[in-house]
Structure 1
Amino acid sequence: MTDATRALESTALAESFKAAFRAQPAGVALVTAATESGPVGLTASSVASVAVDPPALSLSVTRATGSAGRLLAANTLIVHFLADHHVDLARAFARSGEPRFTTEQGFARLETGEPLLSDARAALRCRPLHIVPVGSSSLVIAEVLDVSFGPPSPPLVYHDRRFHRLDSDSPDL
Structure 2
Amino acid sequence: MSGVSNGAADHARELGDRLKSAFRMHPAGVALITAAAATGPVGLTASSVSSVAAEPAALSFSVTRATGTAGALLAAPSFAVHFLGEQHADLARVFAHSGAPRFTPEQGFVRLPTGEPFLPDSPAVLRARALHLIPVGSSTLVVAEVLDVHLGDEAPPLLYRDRKFLRLDPETEL
The two structures have a TM-score, normalised by structure 2, of 0.96
Match of 2:130 in 1: 128
Query: How far apart, CA to CA, are the structure 1 residues paired with 2:87 and 2:46?
Result: 16
- Aligned identity (percent) is 61
The equivalent residue for 2:103 is 101
2:160 to 143, 158, 161: 158
Deviations 1:96-116 (A, max 9, x none): 000101111110001111100
Once the two structures are TM-superposed, the CA of residue 2 in structure 1 deviates from its matched residue by: 2.1
Aligned residues: 172
1:41: how far off?
A: 0.3
Structure 1: gaps (5+ residues): none
Q: Assess if the C-alpha contact under 8 Å between 2:38 and 2:76 holds in 1.
A: no
Per the alignment, residue 63 of structure 1 pairs with 65
**2:81 corresponds to 1:79:** yes
1:119 aligns with: 121
Specify the SS of the correspondent of 2:134: strand
Structure 2 CA distance for aligned equivalents of residues 56 and 6 of structure 1: 36
Q: Distance in 1 between matches of 2:150 and 2:44?
A: 19
SS at match of 2:121: coil
2:143 to 141, 144, 149: 141
- Cα RMSD of the aligned pairs, angstroms, is 0.9
- 1:105 alignment partner AA: Q
Quote the offset at 1:75 in angstroms. 0.9
